[in-house]
Structure 1
Amino acid sequence: MRTTPFLTAAALTLALSSPANAVAAEAPVTVVGCSATTTGVPGQQLVLAPASVTEPVVSALSVLDPLGVLTGAFRSLWAGTAPIPLGTVPAGEAEIPGIRIADAVGARLRELPVLAPVLAPLVSTVHTSLASLCGILVRGQVPGAPPAGSPATPADPVPPGAAGGSPDAGTPIAGRQWTVAAVPGSTAGGGAVFGTPIPGQLPGASFPAGAEVPQAGGEAPVVLDARRAAGSGEALAAPRDDGLSWPVLAGILLMAAVGAQLMRRWGFRRPR
């Protein structure tokens, strides 16, 4: 019988050092909002803070208690109540639906005697509200393991000259977001940038007639695009007429007639 104490001590040592009891000894994960995302160790207890659902419950209670007799007492009792258990942290990722949270809150409300006069309609209203508003995403993560979905550290890009020789024209370079153009000055549409020499083209052929070919080191002339969008137009300037207009001509004729009439009258009045 002397071996019994040694066997008992060994059994207790194994029980206390088991992973399950080590996880259970950890503090529970407290969720401070009924619609949130949280992480924890798989197997760790998960609880909901009562303050996270105080307002939905008070809103439903104020309709059933217009005088506010039960509301003040409920706030005091609800602030001192223990966290609401929701289960344990899963291995991986899982979601606690709103209906499960509503069931847990309803069970806690049934434990408060002060709500007995309005318990049935209150629990029904709160259950409907929390089922549509709440939902908690829980991620179980083993201590020391990298977070799930973390991107791998990218390798340093190899310099173009390190691999021996330059990359072929028109092929992308590793680690870069640009490509080496096959023809200098070429664009994505296959054309060439204005002012860039094209292989096999005569000097000055890319410039409009009458324009001077830019000298070495000078800037290429800018040619404006004369094309216009369909439906657009500009009013033409009125043609200039160097001749006399009709009002001016009529005035001249009128003055000539008046002058002739005056000369005629003056000639008749002259003494003979």
Structure 2
Amino acid sequence: MLAGPFPWALSRWHGLRRTPSAAMLLWQSTALAAVLAALGAGLSLTTDRLWVPPVATSDVVVAFLAGAMTAVVAARLLLSGHRTGTSLRRMRRMHRERVDLVARVDGGVSVLDHDLPVAYCVPGMTGSRIVVSRSTLTSLAPAELGAVLEHERSHLRSRHDLVLEAFTVLHLAFPRWVASAAARQEVEVLVEVLADRAAVRSGERRALLSALVALAGSSAPAGSLGSTGSSLAARVEVLRDTRSHRSQAAAVVLLAAAILALPTVLVVLPWLTGLHAG
């Protein structure tokens, strides 16, 4: 349920984007609960078969299979994490070096001499970059440019790259039937919505909307986060919604907490009870 049907249903609940912070918490708790359930179920089945006498041959076989499956899941997660992290950091380091060679720095922003309007950030533990083109500076009004730059600063402050990296690791670690692709795509939209919200808090909503339209069609390099990176139409729809959704946010947070508790309630507690009884 946590690996397939539930993420699939969540990805189709587009109204969830109106409460992006709570929605992000829900996606993170679902992913974490799915991993904990996968690892915990295998471990509990292994120990339950071997620690509670009498132990039959069939118990040993089941315990071995469950333990092997758990080890495979853990190994795939670790391998995917290593490969994804190494690849992204190498890609970003190389891109920062290339930007530094060809761009001029203006107010802490790297400006590329390019005719197409682009704006994106290259995150990193140290030496992050916000990159815009000359066309972006000349085509956007000061308020629009300020909103775009604040959008990118929000990505860097909140380390949205790490959130996306975690979901990329899950997507690459598990088979296609797991709904990790839908989760990754929706989280991409949510990080952009969160950055939009941050830009609106310190600027004008109309300025950000017009800037997004002006930058529509531009793309960001792989490994970076761009102002028009994901589902522009969906983000514009969320930006135009100025209503408060506190009830939905509270309900989503409670749902996230309940989902995170599922592995404990369904796996850990019965396992501990069985061991105590044994």
- Structure with greater strand percent: 1
TM-score, shorter chain, exceeding 0.5: no
TM score, norm. by length of structure 2: 0.26
Which fold has the larger relative contact order, with Cα–Cα distance below 8 Å and residues 6 or more apart in sequence? Answer: 2
- Structure with greater helix percent: 2
